[in-house]
Amino acid sequence: MGYLFPFPRAVKRSQDFGANPGWGPNPPGGHNGDDWAVPVGTPVRAAGDGEVVFAGQFDDTYADNFGWNLMYGGLMVVLNMNGATAPYFEYGHNSELRVKTGQRVKRGQIIALSGNTDGGTNVSTGPHCHVGCLPFNFNLNTNTYGRVNPRLFMTDYWEDEANGSASLGPAGDIKETTTDPQETEVSDAVDRIIAEIRNIAAPGESGKRNAGPLYDLVQNVETINAALLPGEAGVRHAGAVYAALAALDPAQIAAAVTAAVPAETAKQVAALLGGK
């Protein structure tokens, strides 16, 4: 896995590493980093997991201590990536810093907002972000002041990783859930059945209520119920079906059930019959 470019794929470079030797602040070997043409305020993302070795206004003291050249700067962030032989990346001309020296950063973390600052050296001729790269064991005594092409290391885009992972993507990226076609089919079928029941259950012509086929069915059910249910008050168990059941010997029923069903069920049936 390579390191991340600080900006989305759509952002163009305005000056490549090695371009314009000796022009302006450029060393003999050419521009010692990549300039990315971004408007002021564009989020600058960390190339990878690492440590902030410098965050602040570029100055001579810092240059002396760490060996950087005062060729650009302004509000800068310098990252040392994790790993014994990992490179350094420097991000210059920012308008706002989001990290502090000594802090650890995660891959893709916003470390600054881009800008047009240059610490008064006037090397920044318009809003952009300068990205420099020093490899492990760098030697500042080269014609690019030790810097190498950042694109030897930076190969990946944060947008790919952010879009490719549900856990990393912003909530707004989650697509609206579509309805399962099968679910829609079942729902439609239920609607049709309900409509049909309403149709057959509907009363008939005016003045002849409950003439629908469903009413007839319900009438049949009531007839069955009448046969099962007890009769008038004081004349219990007058129903025809009940009478038939009552004629049977409960012990015989229990024996038949015991032979046909699980013991527990048979016991429950026997209890019901014996407890009437």
Closest CB to Zn ion among 30 and 33?
Answer: 33
Nearest Cα neighbor of 120 from 27, 32, 39, 58 is 58
Q: Which pair of structure tokens corresponds to residue 157?
A: 């885009």
Closest CB to Zn ion among 35 and 90?
Answer: 35
Q: How far is the CB of 34 from Zn ion (least distance, A)?
A: 7
Q: How far is the CB of 3 from Zn ion (least distance, A)?
A: 18
Closest CB to Zn ion among 99 and 131?
Answer: 131
Work out whether 35 is an interface residue with Zn ion (CB under 5 A). Answer: yes
Contacts within 8 Å (CB) and 24+ apart, 84-87: 84/136, 85/136, 85/137, 86/48, 86/50, 86/136, 87/3, 87/133, 87/134, 87/135, 87/136, 87/153
Work out whether 90 is an interface residue with Zn ion (CB under 5 A). Answer: no
Assign 44 to helix, strand or coil.
strand
Assign 162 to helix, strand or coil.
helix
Closest CB to Zn ion among 27 and 56?
Answer: 27
Work out whether 118 is an interface residue with Zn ion (CB under 5 A). Answer: no
Work out whether 130 is an interface residue with Zn ion (CB under 5 A). Answer: yes
Stretch that binds Zn ion, among 101-109, 127-135, 241-249, 258-266 (CB under 5 A): 127-135
Site for Zn ion in 195-224 (CB under 5 A): none
In 138-254 the beta strands, taken as DSSP E runs, fall at 154-156
Instruction: List residues near Zn ion by CB under 5 A.
Output: 33, 35, 130
